[in-house]
Chain A
């Protein structure tokens, strides 16, 4: 984790000047963005700021109208999700996109099933599924039950595990904790830590500032489709980030956060207590 913020390492994925418009809506305008190996970058912004659009552009769902993308040091264009996957960019979309009627194994290997001879190699796929889930310390009771019977956190786990099968270099998670309870959120954040430990570049979209402060190394703020600042988590406060998100230096949330900050519960240097985990 030492090299995480060092400018010496080149970014595994970096975008410069990326734009995307839908009809009259300029969803993204001149976006610069990068992520390094073993780094968690949080992508934050208000509803409609363009976070999902940016993720989908990187993932090859949308083709950008302008700008360049370099992946692993080489300029890259992705025109389909399959291409992005092949390149090493895995995405867990907000709506997970699991097949409820299929079991965990089938979902994990969907689109890249293993074969023995002419038939699917169910045994190796099941074995691999367990290996993958154990590696993530995931709690799934059985891989032979339909995905519909799993809890929200377990479904998220399956979706994340699924994204790791192609041995990607970058994983993008769109609001992975949005619909989850406390315990399940913790489970998913643990998973994100695990991804970073494995040397992946992680792009985490989240609305939840405490999640962001808990796991991210850097925070990149989008506002109305434009970059609105990048912050190293160890050197910022959630208040500062919220200000960048809303575009206001003072608003109800940031004022309240400021009041909290001066209360006895905070650390001596004034950073929120959550950032302690980073050191």
Chain B
């Protein structure tokens, strides 16, 4: 028996006494051992609890198709490009994930990122501020605008859809105003921001060490969790399953790092984006703030009655979203070494929102993970990148991205319906 039994007495006749506290109910379909884990996973899928599966499958299909069309697609060089193209909009999409978890939306993230880029460029290049000051000013503008959204939403109850639509227009105007008559400001190539966004890569060795550290931390955390659960008389993850996951993680991180290292490597900018995703994933799942966000997305009234300061959560989420949009704007400005009237235009806005949804964050609130920003933006940028490799441009890109977005929303709606039918709503 592969059951994770903490004591040798477990083999005795009295099985209930030795079973972990969470496995004693006889109606619980046994989900112990490796086969149990597999079975639980399959039954979750069948009931419509799809998680990240659709987008992962989608990504594999997209990569397969483009690789067949042009074998430069999965080349190290192109994949490094892909990571560079994904970081800025992905960071913005991370903010969208947060507002979607609340069941709200921010339509103005594109304008916000453009405004942030404009503030940075005018401050840094125009007024000769130091780079940290210019960055701080740009991020602060995001925080302030997010706070204003939050206050408008919580005090006046105006739907976030409308508030942020107004913001989209207003901040586009402000962006043009800040940029002035010329409408375009170049950021010097030797500035820290441009160097960071264009030419900063981890050395191969550091990248590999990082992978090992991440896997080690994962294993240590899980073993520690098992230890604590055993002490608390709860079931544990079988060591075999844990080992499988650790190896899977090693492969999942190691192979991409190997492939990227054959070209320029893992860029600082992409690493920053991924680090933000990991941090926000932790914050969403393992802190009271994140739990409150999910609760509000699931049932605002229940959250309020549980004593959660609902207004504070709304305001902080809008602040995070706008600030991440501002940060995304800075990364984009750094990568293009300029801020102009087109910064954070229609593309940025729609791609960021589409990425969060394609990545699997529900439009209905309360369901989704930070990783949807990463997976979603990889899908969108892969489509854009792949199409340009096969010499197709904006028309095809818009249409295909639109189709994928529609597909993602349909999957979301269907799985929601299926969850309701299977009692997993």
Residues of A within 8 A of B (CB): 81-82, 85, 93, 95-102, 106, 110-113, 115, 118-120, 122-124, 126-127, 130, 139-146, 148-150
Closest residue on chain A to residue B101 by CB atoms = A101
Tell whether, in the assembled complex, residue A119 and residue B287 are in contact, meaning their CB atoms are under 8 Å apart.
yes
- Nearest A residue to B26 by beta-carbon distance? A141
With contacts A101-B367, A127-B234 known, is A110 near B21, CB below 8 A? Answer: no
Decide if A123 touches B21 in the complex (CB within 8 Å): no
Query: How many Å from the CB of B305 to the closest CB on chain A?
Result: 5
Q: Does B291 lie within 8 Å of A101, measured CB to CB?
A: no
Given A99-B295, A99-B299, A99-B302: A123 touches B425 (CB 8 Å cut-off): no
Q: Known: A81-B305, A99-B299. Contact between A106 and B425, CB under 8 A?
A: no
Contact between A149 and B305, CB atoms less than 8 A apart: no
Task: Give bound CA distance, A85 to B305, whole Å.
Answer: 10
- Bound form: Cα–Cα A12–B117 in Å: 62
Is B306 within 8 A of A149, CB to CB? no
B287 to A111, Cβ gap below 8 A? no
Contact between chains at A141 and B424 (CB < 8 Å): no
* Complexed CA–CA distance, A115 and B291 (Å): 12
- Mask for B227-256, Cβ within 8 A of A = 1, else 0? 011001110000000000000000000000
| Per-residue interface assignment for chain B, residues 284 to 300, with 1 indicating a CB less than 8 Å from any chain A CB and 0 otherwise | 00111001101101110
B407 within 8 A of A: no
Known A148-B425, A149-B424; contact A85-B307, beta-carbon cutoff 8 A: yes
Asked whether, in the complex, the Cβ of B21 is within 8 Å of the Cβ of A130, the reply is yes
* Nearest CB of chain B from residue A134's CB, rounded to whole Å: 8
The residue among B291, B295, B302 with the most chain A CB atoms within 10 A of its own CB is: B302
Q: Of the 9-residue stretches B4-12, B133-141, B415-423, which lies at the interface with chain A?
A: B415-423
* Residues B27 and A123 in contact, CB atoms below 8 Å apart: no
The answer on a CB contact under 8 Å between B424 and A110 is no
Q: Which residues on the B side are within 8 Å of A141 (C-beta)?
A: 25, 27-28
**Which of B22, B291, B297 sits near A142, CB closer than 8 Å?**
B22
Q: Which of B299, B422, B424 has the most CB of A within 10 A?
A: B299
Q: Is the CB of A111 within 8 A of B28?
A: no
Judge if B308 is at the interface, Cβ distance under 8 Å: yes
Chain B hits for A139, CB < 8 A = 25
Which residues of A sit under 8 angstroms from B282, Cβ to Cβ? 119
State whether A127 touches B232 (Cβ < 8 A).
yes
CA distance A115 to B305 in the complex (A): 21
Which residue, B27, B288, B292, B420, has most C-beta atoms of chain A within 10 A?
B288
Query: When A110-B303, A113-B288, A120-B287 are in contact, do A101 and B294 touch as well, CB less than 8 Å?
Result: yes
Q: Which residue of B lies closest to A109 (CB)?
A: B291
| Contact across chains for B22 and A110 when beta carbons are under 8 A apart | no
- Across the interface, do B234 and A149 meet the contact criterion of CB distance under 8 Å? no
20 A–B contact pairs at CB < 8 A?
A81-B304, A81-B305, A81-B307, A95-B301, A96-B302, A97-B301, A97-B306, A101-B425, A111-B307, A112-B307, A119-B282, A120-B291, A124-B232, A126-B232, A130-B22, A130-B234, A140-B25, A141-B28, A144-B22, A148-B425
Partner of A110, one of B225, B291, B301, B422: B291
User: A127 to chain B: which residues have CB within 8 Å?
Assistant: 21, 232-234
Q: Is B366 part of the contact surface with A, judged by Cβ < 8 Å?
A: yes
What separation, in Å, do the CA atoms of A127 and B22 have in the docked complex?
Answer: 8
> What's the Cα separation between A142 and B36 when bound, in Å?
15
Closest residue on chain B to residue A119 by CB atoms: B286
A148 → chain B closest CB, angstroms: 4
Q: Which of A81, A99, A124, A126 contacts B294 (CB 8 A)?
A: A99
Query: Which residues from B are CB-within-8-Å of A126?
Result: 22, 232, 234
B28 and A110 contacting across the interface, CB-CB below 8 Å? no
B147 nearest CB across to chain A (Å):
24
Q: How far is the CA of A99 from the CA of B422 in the complex (A)?
A: 17
| Candidates B25, B27, B301, B419; contact of A148 at CB < 8 Å | B419
